[in-house]
Amino acid sequence: MASIKMLGISASPRENVNSQFLLEVAVEAAIAVAPQGISRELFSFAGKEISACDSCDQCAELGYCWVEDDFQELRDKWIWADAIIYSVPVYHMGVPAQLKAFIDRLGHSVQESFNDRALKVMGVITQGSGFASGQESVMLYLNSHAVMLGCIPMGGLWPVGYIGVGARVGYSGTMREAYEEGDEHTVEAVDATKELSKQIILVTTILKSGGEQNREMLKKSGGFEFFLKRLDS
Ligand SMILES: Cc1cc2nc3c(=O)[nH]c(=O)nc-3n(C[C@H](O)[C@H](O)[C@H](O)COP(=O)(O)O)c2cc1C
C-alpha cells in the first residue's frame, strides 16, 4: 500500500505560534492513524513572500504563473499531496491576505489541470481571538476552495467536527501554553484537530486503496457504518 502524501500548511505569518501548534497536533495524529505510513511536507507562511495575482492572465497561455516568489514552492507541494491540512488564523473575519494571494494564483494558474477531479482530501483548522469571530467564514471559504479544485473537504465528527475545527484562543498566552495548563476549550480544540486529521487519513486511504480493502480498519475506527453497510448491499 503506497504511503499517503500529506501537506500541512500553517497560514500564519508568525512563526511557531497557534496555527503551527495545531498543525503539529494534526500531523502527529495523522502519523498515528495511517496504516500505510505518511510522507509529509510542511509549509509555513512565516517569512515567505507571495504576491497578489495582478490578473496579467499570462498563465492562460503559459500554463503556469510566471511571477517568481515563494508561490512556486507551495504550489509544487500542493500538487504533490494526497491530503492537505490548512491551519489558519482568522484575520478580519477571513483568511490572511498571504493565503488568499496563494489561492488566487493557484486556482487561476492550475485550473486547466484541475478540470478533472484532483480528489485531494482537505481539512481546515482555524482559530481566532474571539467567539464566532470569523472561524466559520474561514472554514466555508477554504471548503469552497477545495470543491472548486475538485477536492474533498472533510469535517471531523460531531459535536466538535462539523465543517472543520474553529477554535477560540481566549487565553492570555499561546494555545500551546493553554493546552499544557489543561484549559478546557483548548483541550477540546486539540481533540477536534486530532479527530479531523484522523478522518482525513481514513478517507484518503479509501480513495487510494479502496473501502473493501480497508473494511476492517474502517470498522475499528468507527464513523463509517453507513458506508460499510452500503458496501454489503
Ligand atoms: C490583522 C489581524 C486580524 C485579526 N482578525 C481577527 C478576527 O477577525 N477574528 C479573530 O477571532 N481574531 C482575529 N485576529 C487574531 C488572530 O486570529 C489570533 O491572534 C490568532 O491566534 C493568530 O494565530 P497565530 O498565532 O497562528 O499567528 C486577528 C489578528 C490579526 C493580526
Question: Is the shortest distance between the CB of 90 and ligand 1 below 6 Å?
Answer: yes
Ligand 1, atom 9: closest residue by C-alpha: 133
Measured in whole angstroms, how far is the alpha carbon of residue 142 from the centre of its chain? 8
Between the alpha carbon of residue 202 and those of residues 7, 30, 33, 144, 198, the distances in Å are 15, 9, 8, 21, 6
89 membership: H or E segment, kind and range: strand 83-89
Task: Tell me the C-alpha distance between 9 and 85, whole Å.
Answer: 6
Instruction: List the one residue out of 95, 50, 57, 55 whose CA is nearest residue 73.
Output: 50
What is the whole-number distance in angstroms between the Cα of residue 135 and the centre of ligand 1?
A: 10
**E-assigned strands of 109-216?**
121-128, 152-154, 165-168
Instruction: For a ligand 1 pocket test, name from 21, 25, 45, 91 the mutation site with the most ligand atoms within 8 angstroms of its C-beta.
Output: 91
Give the pTM.
Answer: 0.97
Q: Where are the domains of the chain?
A: 4-232
What is the whole-number distance in angstroms between the Cα of residue 76 and the centre of ligand 1?
A: 27
With both helix axes pointing from N to C terminus, report the angle between 18-33 and 184-209 in degrees, rounded to the nearest 10: 50
Dump pLDDT digits (tens) for 80-112: 999 999 999 999 999 999 999 999 999 999 866
Ligand 1, atom 17: closest residue by C-alpha: 128
Q: Which CATH superfamily is domain 4-232 in?
A: Flavodoxin domain (3.40.50.360)
Instruction: Respond yes or no on whether the N-terminal peptide bond of residue 13 is cis (omega within 30° of 0).
Output: no
The contacts of residue 70 (CB under 8 Å, 6+ apart) are: 48, 49, 50
Q: Which residues pair with 83 in a beta bridge?
A: 6, 121
The contacts of residue 75 (CB under 8 Å, 6+ apart) are: 65, 102, 105, 106, 109, 110
pLDDT, tens digit only, all 233 positions of the chain: 679 999 999 999 999 999 999 999 999 999 999 878 999 999 999 999 999 999 999 999 998 999 999 999 999 999 999 999 999 999 999 999 999 999 999 999 986 666 778 999 999 999 999 999 999 999 999 999 999 999 999 998 888 889 999 999 987 899 999 999 999 999 999 999 999 999 999 999 999 999 999 999 999 998 899 999 999 88
CA atoms within 13 Å, Cβ hemisphere of 176: 9
Ligand 1, atom 3: closest residue by C-alpha: 91
